[in-house]
Amino acid sequence: MNAAGNFHTGGENGVLESLYVAVLSFMLAAYMILVVSREEGYDPGLYRNAYVYFMVFDLILFSLFVSFWETGGAAQGKAYLLRAAAGVIILAASPAPLILAIFLAGRINPANFMLPLMLKAVWGLAVVCLRDFLEAVKPGWRWNGFLTGFFIFSVLVLSGLLAFFLTEYRQAVITTLYDRDMPGALFLNPLLSLAGLVYCQAGGGSQAGLDPFYTCLLFWGLAAAALGTAAVKIPGGAGRG
């Protein structure tokens, strides 16, 4: 890939990141104007709710944007994996100033502030590596983008619906997001795990501690490593120039 190609890819990623942060900023500003500004006096609960809603919306939006993140093809082997990881981490961490603003305004304890961003980055890297793996297996196949999108939809939405129907079928009384009545495998859904984490950070309870979160983090970390390594090893695949 020539220098112009690298610059073009970087420019596309820059536009993607700017649009991503702009949408999040608009959403947060709208919440502050429509909800917080209408309350008389200071209510920390509104800011805690803002943090939970913001992080859930952020992961959904991030999942859509990261599937278009370009990793480039100039790097080889391990260098490709490092470059892909660095790019996804930058995109995942870009809303950090907005999150800190919510923490400061709501006087929320910033302990473990990086945990949600870590889950986002690991999940995003798994999505990118899956996309590149599919492209390595069948270059230019028109269904690659569809399969990547369907994967994201299945993990985030379909498994979330499955969690709802299972708890309804079992007539389980769910008192917290990290409830012991929830099947543990469902917390491999990063949206459910992240929602449970930020709910705990905002003062909510947990029956299972943070074990569901760490299990989800480890699972998608291993998935990203496996898919990325496979994409590199396939002849003509990612990072092969």
Judge contact between 184 and 215, C-beta under 8 A.
Answer: yes
Condensed to tens digits (0 to 9), the pLDDT of residues 181-236 reads 787 888 999 999 999 999 988 888 788 888 999 999 999 999 999 999 898 888 76
State the pLDDT at residue 241.
44
Spatial separation of the C-alpha atoms in residues 133 and 127, rounded to whole Å: 10
Which whole-number Å values give the CA distances from 20 to 23, 82, 208, in the listed order? 5, 22, 33
Contact 17, 94 (CB under 8 A): yes
Phi then psi dihedrals of residue 76, to 5 deg = -115, 145
pLDDT at 3: 33
| Cα gap 34→28, rounded to integer Å | 10
Contact (CB, 8 A) for 110 and 52: no
- For residue 220, what are the CA distances in angstroms to 1, 207, 226? 30, 23, 10
Tens digit of each residue's pLDDT, the chain (241 residues) = 333 333 345 688 999 999 999 999 999 999 999 988 887 778 888 998 999 999 999 999 999 999 999 886 545 667 778 888 999 999 999 999 999 999 988 888 777 889 999 999 999 999 999 999 998 888 888 899 999 999 999 999 988 888 777 777 666 667 677 887 787 888 999 999 999 999 988 888 788 888 999 999 999 999 999 999 898 888 766 655 4
Instruction: Identify whether the C-beta of residue 191 lies closer than 8 Å to the C-beta of residue 56.
Output: yes
Q: Strand pairing partners for 76?
A: 240
Query: What distance in Å separates the CA atoms of residue 180 and residue 174, rounded to the nearest whole number?
Result: 9
Q: What is the pTM of this model?
A: 0.87
Q: Helix 190-201 and helix 44-66: axis angle, to 10°?
A: 160
Q: What pLDDT does 18 receive?
A: 95
Tokens of 170: 């079992």
Chain centroid to CA 127: how far? 9
Alpha helices, H only, the chain: 3-31, 44-66, 77-93, 96-106, 115-137, 144-153, 159-169, 190-201, 211-233
C-alpha count within 13 angstroms, C-beta hemisphere, residue 169? 8
Cβ atoms of 227 and 129 closer than 8 Å: yes
**Taking Cα atoms as reference points, which of 118, 16, 144, 140 lies closest to residue 71?**
16
